[in-house]
Each structure stands twice: as C-alpha cells, then as structure tokens.
C-alpha cells in the first residue's frame, strides 16, 4: 500500500486511467466505488466529500493490477487531488490458520487492506484532538 503508515504528504504520481477519458457509465461506476468508502462517514460529511470528488473527476486516476476473475487477488487505487482510495489483497500473513495456508502465501481476497485518505491531508496517525487543544485559544486554561 502506498498510502500506509507514516506516509503523510508523500508525493505520489498520478497513474492509470484518467477520469477525463472515461465514459459517462464508467464515471458513474467510479463514483460508486469511491462512495463505498466515503459513505462510512456521517451523512453530511459524506455528501460534502462526494460533491468534492465529483468536481475533481476529470483529474482523478484509476490504477488496477491483478486478475479480473471473481476470486482473483487485485490492487486498485483511485487518486485525485481530494481523495485517495486503495484496496490491496494481501497474503495470509499472521492469519494463516484461518486460511489453512502457510505464512506469507499468495495474496487472496480473504485478506484485504484498504485505506481512504485525503492527499496531503496530514491525517495519518496525527493527534488531531491534542493539536486542537494546543493551538486553539478557547482551550487555554492559563
């Protein structure tokens, strides 16, 4: 995963198919994929974010690697100025007993990592509440 641990503000090149080159039906499907992740937020936040994603559809890129069969392992990334979504099938790793496989086996849809982030959003692992308390005058108790 490119947007994993400690990768705040990492500059990532846009790669893959441009949203600008997609048909209307493909754009609709792309928005539906992003909405699966965005809709985990409160409804008003999700609506605002989806409107933002829609406005940037022309400069959104989709990258796919892997198979296309229903059970194939795959990697997909949606990258725009306002959203980053990654889905990556992993090997069994520490969950090997659950899959009856050996440590470090082939990637499978039984072990999937996903992330949604805001590019350059300073959002991974930050103590946002602590930062707010330290930088907002109305919390100053001196």
Residue 35 lies inside a defined structural domain of this protein: yes
Question: 21 in a domain, yes or no?
Answer: yes
pLDDT by residue (tens digit) across 43-92? 999 999 999 999 999 999 999 999 999 999 999 999 999 999 999 998 87
Residue 60 lies in a domain: yes
In this predicted structure, the answer to whether residue 102 has a pLDDT above a threshold of 70 is no
Q: Is residue 11 part of a domain?
A: no
In a domain, 109, yes or no: yes
Q: Is the confidence at residue 99, as pLDDT, over 90?
A: no
Number of domains the chain contains: 1
Residue 117: per-residue pLDDT: 84
Query: pTM for this one?
Result: 0.74
Inside any domain, residue 3: no
pLDDT of residue 126: 61
Q: 89-105 b/e with 16+ CB inside 10 Å = b?
A: bbbbeeeeeeeebeeee
Residue 93 and residue 112 in contact, taking contact as beta carbons nearer than 8 Å: no
In order of 55, 85, 108, the CA distances from 90 in angstroms are 32, 16, 6
Residues spanned by the domain of 22: 17-139
Is 70 contained in some domain? yes
Residue 4 domain-assigned (yes or no): no
In this prediction, residue 23 carries a pLDDT of 97
Q: Say how far apart CA 110 and CA 51 lie, in whole Å.
A: 32
């Amino acid at each position: 995963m490119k947007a994993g641990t400690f990768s705040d503000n990492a500059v990532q090149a846009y790669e893959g198919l441009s949203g600008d080159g997609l048909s209307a039906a493909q754009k609709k499907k792309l928005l539906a994929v992003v909405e699966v992740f965005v809709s985990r937020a409160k409804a008003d936040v999700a609506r605002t974010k989806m409107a933002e994603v829609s406005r940037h559809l022309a400069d959104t890129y989709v990258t796919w690697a892997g198979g296309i069969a229903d059970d194939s392992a795959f990697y997909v990334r949606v990258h725009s100025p306002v959203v980053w979504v990654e889905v990556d099938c992993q090997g069994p790793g520490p969950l090997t007993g659950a899959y009856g496989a050996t440590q470090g086996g082939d990637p499978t849809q039984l072990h999937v990592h996903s992330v949604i982030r805001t590019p350059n959003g300073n959002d991974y692992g930050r103590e946002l509440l602590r930062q707010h308390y330290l930088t907002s005058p109305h919390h100053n108790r001196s």
